[in-house]
Structure 1
Amino acid sequence: MGHFLHLVFIFAMFTATIKGSLFNFRYKKYMKTVYKNKSNNPFGQMIELEEKYVSQPLDHFDPLVKGSLKQRYIVINDYWKKPDGPVFLFIGGEGLLSGYYLRYGLINEIAKTHGALIVGAEHRYYGDSLNGDSMELSNLKYLSSQQALGDLAKLHQVISEEYGVDSNTTWICFGGSYAGDLSAWFRIKYPHLVHAAVASSAPVRAITNFEGYNNVVRASLSDTSIGGSQKCTGNISSGFEEVGQLLKNKSLDRLHKDFELCSPLKSENDYATFLSNLEDNISGAVQYNDDGTNNSVEYICKTIAEAEGSPYDKLVHLNQVFLGSLDEKCLESSYEQMLQELNKTVAQELVGIRPWTYQTCTQFGFFQTCDVNTQCPFSTYLGLGLYLDICNDVFGITADEINARVNFTNQYYGSDTPKGTRILFVNGSIDPWHSLSVLKNISDSAETALYIQGSSHCADMEATSPDDTPQLTQGKLEIKKQVSNWLSSSGQQRLTFKLIR
């Protein structure tokens, strides 16, 4: 969930979203904290949750396959006006399902308005939704978006039976980032189970070499309305160009010292791992643009501007600032060390890294590169070869196999021109993932596209706030209005939502 991916991860949605570079220590540190208390939220308050588990078959499509796994789910029954109230299904993505958005997000506001039962579904092979040997390579073949949708279908049945949900009750699903994909795909593949879907920041078009991600990163870093500037982008680009020259000249000891690397640079893949983690602080700030924090474009550009020296010196300073803020002693740079992490099969040590990497290699790609992209503000050392090597070295998956599986994903779901009705695709202009989503209405009766200027990755899933921009405020109102219209058209919902302009 969360860039949506280099493979180096960053947390975002607290249910996980994709950024993914290779070995993001920020993501690891965050997830280790969350695993200690899966009910907490970013503000330190305890979230009281009704947590349950359902047994899911390993393979929904072959009854001869034996074995099962437990799927964790969360129920909030505080507002449900049975029998008229709808059911809102919040779909988890590539990480632990936290109760934060269920209790404090926009879905909770809408549930209060419409008297809805809220159900949160954790994704198989993440969080606590696994069996003891889930991460062994022989079992990873049961980790896919298709199997995850099968889990949702069975959970629909379990909830209906356990809570006495009438067969005519309207279900609406919600999800952000990869879970946004699942939200749209659940509506497309199981239209008899869900009436409608909200898909926030959902990159429904799979792609192996996702160079377009960094096109948006560059544009957002230059956007003066969010604290960016052409000068900021130029400094970052020039800084990475200087780093590239030092790599080319084999000035590795200097880079090791200046950027406080955890281990010496020995190979081309070490170079790429180092650069991926270095740029992750920048691209992550673009993707989430969390105003008032160090995870924002304004903060990045201000820090760059205030630092003395050349663009290279400014980049060194920015790295020092982030290492200090994360209480890290060094910057990860070893490809071999990263492979060791990815090859761990003890679930609680993985915090989502191994399974999500497997999903990118087998279904989505999403590898963010600077191969031939002249608009990339980073380094051409960030090439596709790094990711192809990871897939092959860890899982034995070749480049040809990756491309074939990515093509299958697009054919199976419809890419960014899917066929379905009552799906709301919500995207923000700052978010680099919007380039893989649905940005315009496909037809008058099919998907609806909501594009929010100045908004970042999954920002529309947060609760309404006085700090929201006018565009984001209006976007959230439009989401509420659309849900209200769906419920009214279903003939079940008696409550109405009023749009206040």
Structure 2
Amino acid sequence: MLGAPKAPKGIKTPAAQWYDEQRLDHFDGANFKVWSQRYFVNDTFYTPGGPIFLMIGGEGPADAIWMVEGTWIQYAQQFGAICVMLEHRYYGESHPVPDLSLSNLRYLNSRQALADLAQFIDFFRIRMKLSNNKLITFGGSYPGSLSAWFRSKYPQYVDGADATSAPIYAQVDFREYLQVVTDALGTSGTQCVEEIRNATQTMYAWWGQPEMRPVLEQKFNLCDKIDHTNTLDLAGFFSNTAGNFENVVQYNKDNRAFEGALGTNITIDTLCEIMTDFTRGDPVQRYADVNSLTLKTYGQTCLDYTYTKMIADMKKTDWNSSAGEGGRQWMYQTCAEFGWFQSSDYAKQPFGDWFYFPVNFSFIQCMDIYEKEFNGMAIYNNVQDTNRYYGGRDIAVTKVVFPNGSIDPWHAMGVTKDISKDATAIYIEGTAHCANMYPATDQDPQQLIDARVQISKLIGQWLQD
């Protein structure tokens, strides 16, 4: 996901604009309801006849900082493009419905989002008098998937697509996520992975020991006392503490500081240095030190891990609730379309045995949050339908580039080998999620530098065809 809490101070960004005639349901001709969708425009670099560059919004607020920063802005300068970013329905300030009740969520899916893009492009071309200009789409993570799918399903609308870090294969049990995380942590030394494994094994043993549970509560600064009989709380605790490592791996050394992202100075090496610093104490203490670093970085007073509190939060339907910032919406999309549940089912990962937070843990959440709407069979059917509709890894598409980083766990659901000469994969060793989209730095590895150049050349070819 691309986005940020807010743009850093002192950077001037374009004001929001609104498309007031977006259809609520593109696939029901009898539904005439419309709503206002937020978008941003930067025409600073536009030269007459230049292309339209469209940044696709994703599962969070569209951040206007992307209208003045990022690699696509360099491409816009190079090709004289007008830049526009369209916020995804149901995220940020683009609210098609009064609230996030289950009945209102039925209009939230990727197919409606693609139709939003098509209708918006029709409007934007007329408004800006750009009827014949070529159009290139950009997206990172889920918006990268949308970028590829839009080119596949609406080829008449787009002349080329950048699908960065795009998971285009839907899968229920995303056990490969922790496989990539484990391999990435191993780049800092095998001892790091072993110390994580030692810590989680001891922590699980302590969970069942009355005299040691208070020690866990104190070391990890838990918001609530442990109920050792509650297996859902256990899953929440171990998945949350594993998440301290997952998040760092996914964005390792990505240049996200410009968008106000927190924790950009914490890397794989940072965490592994803690885990292998024996002066800090036993493995559990070192694991707890990583947790303390995460809490401090994100300004959290304690680790909230209990299942009932999480479900109560996710069931809130008000746009102004914490769940309304995107968590309730994105969880719905994973249950209804994609899966991608990051489980502990990969046997060689160090964050606990398979039963600590198995894929079934996500099934239970889907059912408890959305009023039994999704059971395991329904989720499998939904994911199968998504791959059937878009093609999965056999997507039929041309003029798309698929950049992925080797450290990014999402590359396991993406395209890492050329589909054809017109659908190119760029596999960048040593980089993480959406690295090629962020502004360049002096520390960028050569493969990342080369990837940006290759993408620029492909855009140039698409614009000349």
Q: Same fold (TM over 0.5)?
A: yes
Q: Do 1:464 and 1:476's aligned partners in 2 also have CA atoms closer than 8 Å? A: no
The answer to whether residue 368 in structure 2 is matched with residue 386 in structure 1 is no
Aligned-pair CA distance for 1:318:
1.5
Q: From 58, 65, 70, give the equivalent of 2:24.
A: 58
Partner SS, residue 235 of structure 1: helix
Q: What is the TM-score when the length of structure 1 is the normalising length?
A: 0.86
Q: From 380, 390, 400, give the equivalent of 1:413.
A: 390
Query: Which region of structure 1 is more displaced relative to structure 2, 211-220 or 55-64?
Result: 55-64
Q: Do 1:47 and 1:99's aligned partners in 2 also have CA atoms closer than 8 Å? A: no
1:10 counterpart residue number: none
Q: Do 1:50 and 1:76's aligned partners in 2 also have CA atoms closer than 8 Å? A: no
Q: Do 2:24 and 2:96's aligned partners in 1 also have CA atoms closer than 8 Å? A: no
2:12 counterpart residue number: 47
1:498 counterpart residue number: none
The answer to whether residue 215 in structure 2 is matched with residue 254 in structure 1 is yes
Q: Structure 1, residues 276-319: CA drift from partner, whole Å, max 9, x if none? A: 22111111111100279443101111222335222112111211
Q: Do 2:97 and 2:104's aligned partners in 1 also have CA atoms closer than 8 Å? A: no
Q: Structure 1, residues 60-86: CA drift from partner, whole Å, max 9, x if none? A: 00022243322101111111112x100
The answer to whether residue 410 in structure 2 is matched with residue 433 in structure 1 is yes
Q: Do 2:14 and 2:67's aligned partners in 1 also have CA atoms closer than 8 Å? A: no
2:57 counterpart residue number: 92
Partner SS, residue 85 of structure 2: strand
The answer to whether residue 459 in structure 2 is matched with residue 459 in structure 1 is no
Q: Which amino acid aligns with 1:186?
A: F
Q: Which amino acid aligns with 1:298?
A: D
**2 CA distance for matches of 1:427 and 1:45?**
32
Partner SS, residue 125 of structure 2: helix
**2 CA distance for matches of 1:367 and 1:294?**
27
Partner SS, residue 392 of structure 2: coil
Q: From 345, 366, 384, give the equivalent of 2:340.
A: 366
Q: Do 1:75 and 1:120's aligned partners in 2 also have CA atoms closer than 8 Å? A: yes
The answer to whether residue 287 in structure 2 is matched with residue 315 in structure 1 is yes
**1 CA distance for matches of 2:121 and 2:438?**
25
Q: Do 1:417 and 1:438's aligned partners in 2 also have CA atoms closer than 8 Å? A: no
Q: Runs of 5+ in structure 1 lacking a partner?
A: 2-12, 16-33, 35-39, 490-501
Q: From 417, 437, 444, give the equivalent of 1:468.
A: 444
Match runs of 1:232-251 below 5 Å: 232-249=192-209, 251=212
Partner SS, residue 38 of structure 2: strand
Q: Which amino acid aligns with 2:287?
A: L
Q: Structure 1, residues 18-60: CA drift from partner, whole Å, max 9, x if none? A: xxxxxxxxxxxxxxxx3xxxxx42x433332142111311110
**2 CA distance for matches of 1:341 and 1:399?**
22
The answer to whether residue 35 in structure 2 is matched with residue 69 in structure 1 is yes
The alignment covers a number of residue pairs equal to 446
The answer to whether residue 401 in structure 2 is matched with residue 424 in structure 1 is yes
**2 CA distance for matches of 1:75 and 1:116?**
11
Partner SS, residue 276 of structure 2: helix
Partner SS, residue 391 of structure 1: helix
Aligned-pair CA distance for 1:249:
4.3
Partner SS, residue 418 of structure 2: coil
Q: What is the TM-score when the length of structure 2 is the normalising length?
A: 0.93
**2 CA distance for matches of 1:271 and 1:185?**
38
Aligned-pair CA distance for 1:323:
1.8
Compared CA separation, residues 377 and 47, structure 1 to 2 (3 A): farther
Aligned-pair CA distance for 1:259:
0.9
Query: Which region of structure 1 is more displaced relative to structure 2, 399-408 or 474-483?
Result: 474-483
**1 CA distance for matches of 2:154 and 2:92?**
25
Q: Structure 1, residues 385-430: CA drift from partner, whole Å, max 9, x if none? A: 2111110011121111000000000110011221010010000000
The answer to whether residue 327 in structure 2 is matched with residue 327 in structure 1 is no
Match runs of 1:149-228 below 5 Å: 149-166=114-131, 168-223=132-187, 228=188
**2 CA distance for matches of 1:407 and 1:137?**
22
Q: From 220, 226, 236, give the equivalent of 1:265.
A: 226
1:353 counterpart residue number: 327
Partner SS, residue 26 of structure 2: coil
Q: Do 2:13 and 2:65's aligned partners in 1 also have CA atoms closer than 8 Å? A: no
Q: Structure 1, residues 442-498: CA drift from partner, whole Å, max 9, x if none? A: 223x41100001111001001222221111111111111111121122xxxxxxxxx
Aligned-pair CA distance for 1:132:
4.9
The answer to whether residue 75 in structure 2 is matched with residue 144 in structure 1 is no
Aligned-pair CA distance for 1:326:
2.4
Q: From 282, 290, 310, give the equivalent of 1:338.
A: 310
Q: Which amino acid aligns with 2:332?
A: Y
Q: From 117, 127, 138, give the equivalent of 2:82.
A: 117
**1 CA distance for matches of 2:460 and 2:315?**
46
Q: Do 1:288 and 1:295's aligned partners in 2 also have CA atoms closer than 8 Å? A: no
Q: Do 1:101 and 1:461's aligned partners in 2 also have CA atoms closer than 8 Å? A: no
1:79 counterpart residue number: 45
Identity %: 36
Q: Runs of 5+ in structure 2 lacking a partner?
A: 255-262
Aligned-pair CA distance for 1:188:
0.3
Q: From 265, 272, 275, give the equivalent of 1:301.
A: 272
The answer to whether residue 70 in structure 2 is matched with residue 105 in structure 1 is yes
**2 CA distance for matches of 1:203 and 1:132?**
28
Partner SS, residue 214 of structure 1: helix
**2 CA distance for matches of 1:346 and 1:46?**
31
**2 CA distance for matches of 1:132 and 1:58?**
8
Q: Which amino acid aligns with 2:244?
A: N
Q: Do 1:211 and 1:369's aligned partners in 2 also have CA atoms closer than 8 Å? A: yes
1:486 counterpart residue number: 462
Partner SS, residue 416 of structure 1: helix
1:283 counterpart residue number: 246
Partner SS, residue 426 of structure 1: strand
Aligned-pair CA distance for 1:248:
4.2
